[in-house]
Structure 1
Amino acid sequence: MASTSRARISVVGDALIDELRDPSGAREFVGGAALNVAVGLALLGDDATLIAMVGDDEPAERIHAFLDDYGVRLVASPSQHGTSRAVSIRTDGEPRYEFNEAAQHRQLRFDDDTRAALADADLVVVSCYPFDDDEQVDLLLDAIEGSEHRLIVDGNPRSGMLHDRDRFLANFERVAARSLLVKVGDEDADLLLGAPLDEFVARLGGGGSTDAAGPAVLATAGRHGASLHHRGIEVHADIVQLDGPVVDTMGAGDATLAAVVHRIAADGVPADAEAWSRALGEAMEIAAATVRHEGALLRTGVASPQIGS
């Protein structure tokens, strides 16, 4: 997949207004896990398209304008409940979410434009998708041919949007089994399994198997860093210490995923532990820069946001 041209990456999932509340007051940001990843990929130099649901309202206009600013194309599905909103209540930088009706009933329309955006992409990234909706999952898989060679999935479950935990888990594992790479976090493992992260990693095929058909598993554990499990390879990277305090951890996981996806798009899937270590180390540096700013916009810690391939 390595190429001198910009990789075409379609990101499927959520776009919303993030309202941050803390003792200092309330602020609003354009956000959503999938949107964060799409914008992050654009900042890293990729040709990014976001496939998401938005309403016909002022918040949707803000989302369109924000994506235009970063050169991300939006393929929008209509929403009968307006644009999604998440209220993030912060305690020591960690968010707790409350979601409006639109976010709780998110749904994508797989029309010609959506299917074309998926068909034309070198990689398809799915994040914060309604995996507890069987029809939405079936439509997604039907629209992505050759998924095991170009699909990357991050379940990103949120308790405020979760209607059926068992169904979400079953469908997430079904999609993960057909993917190139799957990302899971320690909070995902707790919410979906009530179990430690390493147990979830093992369920997804990252427990040391050398099976060439299984996905790579990117496991994130907050302050304990991240690890990568792929065909018997296991590498770990600690969080990176940078100058300045940690301000907001909201975008850490999305920045980590965007950095790893960017590296796969540029160089192909790493073939050995050394290459995976480099990719994971770069992702940890980007995540560390991101959390030192409010909001979830990916940061690289350098003067220019572009780091290229």
Structure 2
Amino acid sequence: MTRPAHVTVIGDALIDELRDPRGAREFVGGAALNVAVGLALLGEQVTLVAMLGDDEPATRIRSYLRDFGVRIVESPSEHGTSRAVSDRTDGEPRYEFNEAAQRRRIRFDDATRAAIDEADLVVVSCFPFDDAEQAAELRAAIARPGERLAIDGNPRAGMLRDREVFLANFTDAARDALLVKVGDEDADLLLGAPLADFVERLRASPATAAPSDAAAPRSPAVLATAGRDGATLVDGTDEVHAGIVELPGAVVDTMGAGDATLSAVVHHLAVHGVPSDVSGWSAALESAMGIAAATVRHEGALLRVPTHQSEGGS
């Protein structure tokens, strides 16, 4: 594309409160918000559809999005703005979510549907798939998902009300998508199984059946992230793997690694289209892993680009 892609991201926006031995600090965050801002930093024209309350944290989130040129389409929240607390005071992080985060909902009104309809690409992250009504509204709102939908379930134990319902609705939505991202922690939480099993589950059956005179539906490309073991992209018979990229400086905060990886792959699709072979997917994944490596060398989840890698050339 010669112009920036129009990308609409649907999901969560919240305040991340980080507690560790140094004290407590707050960041504007949320998986969907991180992806939206990351895509804007990479040069795309981005709209975020997310729930906000009528309170001071929402004002901070709006200001943050304006700073990065991300348009917000708000769904109202009677419980205020979502908040996630990450407590790392004794090493291993523990997460808690307030009532707003646990009861998150997207309102599929005219403004939301217009933002979806005008988008070249739609990204869904940290969506309440354990709400059957919300899952049905999402699927009904996105035309041609196999051409433009990227989806990341991003389940969180503290927000998960019904694991089986979430798994079923996420799997159904993902099979119709162009790209689906899953992580090793997602596989453990939703399936109690290795990541490879989750990937196979997503690819086991085709998307919505095509008419007899149409081409057979394709399975989604799957971006599987495994922390220190890197990431793998699987599309049809093509499979590529990329390990962790070594950059100068220590790893400071891994919180935004997965969101940065997804942002970078979606950006590659926006710029170059869907890769047709292994070399294309390799380029997308290698660029994404470099961006993730730069991101984790800073506190917070704001996407960073390695100094040797330009935003427009991933």
Structure 1 residues 57 and 219, CA gap change in structure 2 (3 angstroms): same
Contact 2:21 2:89 in 1 (8 A): no
Code of the residue aligned with 1:274 in structure 2: it is S
Q: How does 1:115-134 map to 2 (within 5 A)?
A: 115-134=113-132
Code of the residue aligned with 1:71 in structure 2: it is G
TM-score under structure 2 normalisation?
Answer: 0.94
Q: Aligned-residue CA RMSD in angstroms? A: 1.7
Structure 1 residues 215 and 93, CA gap change in structure 2 (3 angstroms): farther
What residue number does 2:210 align with? none
Structure 2 counterpart SS, 1:136: helix
Code of the residue aligned with 1:218 in structure 2: it is L
Contact 1:9 1:47 in 2 (8 A): yes
What residue number does 2:237 align with? 232
Q: How does 1:249-260 map to 2 (within 5 A)?
A: 249-260=254-265
Deviating more after overlay: 73-82 vs 88-97: 88-97
For the residues of structure 1 that align with 2:241 and 2:218, how far apart are their CA atoms? 22
Structure 1 residues 203 and 197, CA gap change in structure 2 (3 angstroms): same
What residue number does 2:305 align with? 300
Structure 1 counterpart SS, 2:240: strand
For the residues of structure 2 that align with 1:80 and 1:32, how far apart are their CA atoms? 19
1:192 aligns with 2:190: yes
Structure 1 residues 273 and 129, CA gap change in structure 2 (3 angstroms): same
Q: How does 1:119-268 map to 2 (within 5 A)?
A: 119-205=117-203, 213-268=218-273
Contact 1:36 1:251 in 2 (8 A): yes
1:102 aligns with 2:107: no
For the residues of structure 1 that align with 2:15 and 2:107, how far apart are their CA atoms? 20
**How big is each residue's C-alpha offset from its partner over 1:148-184, in whole Å with a ceiling of 9 and x where there is no partner?**
1111100000000000000000000000011000000
Structure 1 residues 162 and 299, CA gap change in structure 2 (3 angstroms): same
What residue number does 1:71 align with? 69
Report deviation, 1:308: 5.5
Report deviation, 1:302: 2.3
**How big is each residue's C-alpha offset from its partner over 1:207-244, in whole Å with a ceiling of 9 and x where there is no partner?**
9xxx8610000000000000001011111000101111
Code of the residue aligned with 1:19 in structure 2: it is E
Code of the residue aligned with 2:280 in structure 1: it is A
Larger relative contact order (C-alpha < 8 A, sep ≥ 6)? Answer: 1
Structure 1 residues 228 and 303, CA gap change in structure 2 (3 angstroms): closer
Structure 1 residues 5 and 50, CA gap change in structure 2 (3 angstroms): same
What residue number does 2:290 align with? 285
What residue number does 2:33 align with? 35
Structure 1 counterpart SS, 2:88: strand
Unmatched tracts of structure 1, length 5 or more: none
Structure 2 counterpart SS, 1:280: helix
Contact 2:49 2:73 in 1 (8 A): yes
Code of the residue aligned with 1:78 in structure 2: it is P
**How big is each residue's C-alpha offset from its partner over 1:238-295, in whole Å with a ceiling of 9 and x where there is no partner?**
0101111100000000000000000001111111011101110000000000000000
For the residues of structure 1 that align with 2:310 and 2:281, how far apart are their CA atoms? 23
Aligned pairs, number = 304
Contact 1:14 1:34 in 2 (8 A): yes
1:270 aligns with 2:275: yes
Deviating more after overlay: 185-194 vs 142-151: 142-151
What residue number does 1:82 align with? 80
Report deviation, 1:90: 2.6
Structure 1 residues 164 and 27, CA gap change in structure 2 (3 angstroms): same
Structure 1 residues 25 and 38, CA gap change in structure 2 (3 angstroms): same
Structure 1 residues 307 and 95, CA gap change in structure 2 (3 angstroms): farther
**How big is each residue's C-alpha offset from its partner over 1:40-97, in whole Å with a ceiling of 9 and x where there is no partner?**
0000000011000000000000000000000000000000000000001237986431
